[in-house]
Amino acid sequence: MEIKKENIIFHIDVNNAYLSWSAVYNIVRNGGLDYRTVPAIVGGDPKTRNGIVLAKSIPAKKCGIQTGEVLFKALQKCPGLKIIKPDYALYMKCSNAMIEVFKRYTDKIQRYSVDEAFLDMSDGSMTREKAEKKAYEIQSVIHKELGFTVNVGISTNKLLAKVASDLKKPNQVITLYPEEIEAKLWPLPVGELFMVGRATLPKLKKMGIMTVGDLAKTDLELIKYRMKSHGVMIWEFAHGIENSIVRGNGEDIVKGIGNSTTIRFDVTDKKDAYMVLLSLTEMVAMRLRHGGFLTGLVAVSIKSAELTSYSHQRKLFGHTDSTNELYEIVKQLFDAAWQGEAIRHLGVRVSNFIPNDTYQYTLFDGAALEKNRKLDKTIDDLRVRFGKNIIMRSSFLHSGMKSITGGVGEVKDPDEEKYPVMSSML
């Protein structure tokens, strides 16, 4: 008789990622303070209007500081607060180092975000007992080698593993197997369920649904009627039903690429808006080429000084990865969309990709196309070798604006320090 093996899935997430990583770096690199032990936050720069709390230490939390709060308010609550600038390059390195550790245990790893990953630990002979031992081992290896703590949630699917890892913090290994759902999942406030957010919560409350258990016991047809497919999904989640696979390397396809920025000042002049859009387009186009894609859809988004947002998008007749072509379209979209009010924030986003090996350029033809391609390639190569600021368009000279804007570009920043590989620390 055949015995059906159950899947064993881990969800691993870094405790207080940004703050922990900055703290470990400060200890190892500067022999400095452990920010985790004092009231400290990771936050932006109020002067450039990016001043919000991204992460907080436990002592900072005790002062009543909340993630997402403006810095100025956080300082009022805790005058001695240590404010640390976010260092995304460092965070990416720490994240990569963690993934390298995971690879010693399985090759089925899905990176869910910079500080979270799913591991499929099923290997035909994996048992719950063995899995738990592995979880503790991974946790201790990461702490010894990289200096920070993680939570490990264990279950038979990704949803339950993710919920499990969130049940208690920090530095925990927690199981949430199907037979534990009633005891561990159902008592939770329904707002803590994955995919129940700001808009869904009030709808559920109106129906008298307060806990995950309440949702689970509600008639599916009623939920479906009121909340469509999203309702069905969260109802299934409340029962622990979820069966997506852990998508490994290469199986996680990029659907879109975008960059956006809050501008240091309110933009009222079209020329200034164009310059910001160009610097965003430079980054988006570079990432697009880096990924080997051509885009078929371009979107521009605008957030006014009064915080109302809107966007304008257009499907292209063909596909492109050319900075110049994209910029022309971006300008047109902006012109069509902009209502003339003061602008706080601008974004450029591309999607509907095809691989660039198919070579279906149709917007420009012949010589112009080849010229554009060569230019883009030359600039990309220079930026990869010498950093993203090695070359800029003349229009940015003395403009006080960045010639290329946005993150997630895999290109060096020349101002960036060289970070040591994090190993054998603490």
Partner DNA sequence: TCTGGGGTCCTAGGACCC
Residues at the contact surface with DNA, assessed by CB under 7 A: 13, 44, 49-50, 52, 54, 68-70, 112-113, 115-116, 194-201, 228-230, 254-262, 287, 297, 299, 307, 309-315, 337, 344-345, 347, 349, 351, 406-408
Of 30 and 229, the one with the shorter C-beta distance to DNA is: 229
In angstroms, give the least distance from the CB of 116 to DNA.
5
In angstroms, give the least distance from the CB of 94 to DNA.
14
Contact (CB, 8 A) for 27 and 147:
yes
Of 336 and 375, the one with the shorter C-beta distance to DNA is: 336
In angstroms, give the least distance from the CB of 125 to DNA.
31
CA distance 397 to 392: 8
Pairing of strands 293-304, 256-267: unpaired
CA distance 238 to 225: 17
Of 31 and 68, the one with the shorter C-beta distance to DNA is: 68
398, exposed or middle or buried, with CB in 10 Å at 0-12, 13-18, 19+?
exposed
Of 32 and 292, the one with the shorter C-beta distance to DNA is: 292
Of 304 and 378, the one with the shorter C-beta distance to DNA is: 304
Annotated catalytic residue 116 = yes
For residue 167, what are the CA distances in angstroms to 8, 152, 173, 176, 278?
Answer: 18, 10, 10, 9, 44
In angstroms, give the least distance from the CB of 404 to DNA.
11
Q: How many CB atoms lie within 10 A of CB 222?
A: 12
CA distance 48 to 263: 7
Which of 6, 69, 116, 129 is catalytic? The answer is 116
The three-class DSSP label of residue 413 is: coil
Phi, psi of 194, deg, nearest 5: -55, 130
For residue 133, what are the CA distances in angstroms to 6, 65, 101, 130, 344?
Answer: 17, 36, 16, 5, 51
For residue 313, what are the CA distances in angstroms to 258, 308, 323, 351?
Answer: 13, 17, 17, 10
Of 138 and 283, the one with the shorter C-beta distance to DNA is: 283
In angstroms, give the least distance from the CB of 301 to DNA.
8
**403 torsion bin: left (phi>0), alpha (psi -120 to 50), beta (else):** alpha
291, exposed or middle or buried, with CB in 10 Å at 0-12, 13-18, 19+?
middle
In angstroms, give the least distance from the CB of 110 to DNA.
13
Report, as residue numbers or ranges, the catalytic residues: 116
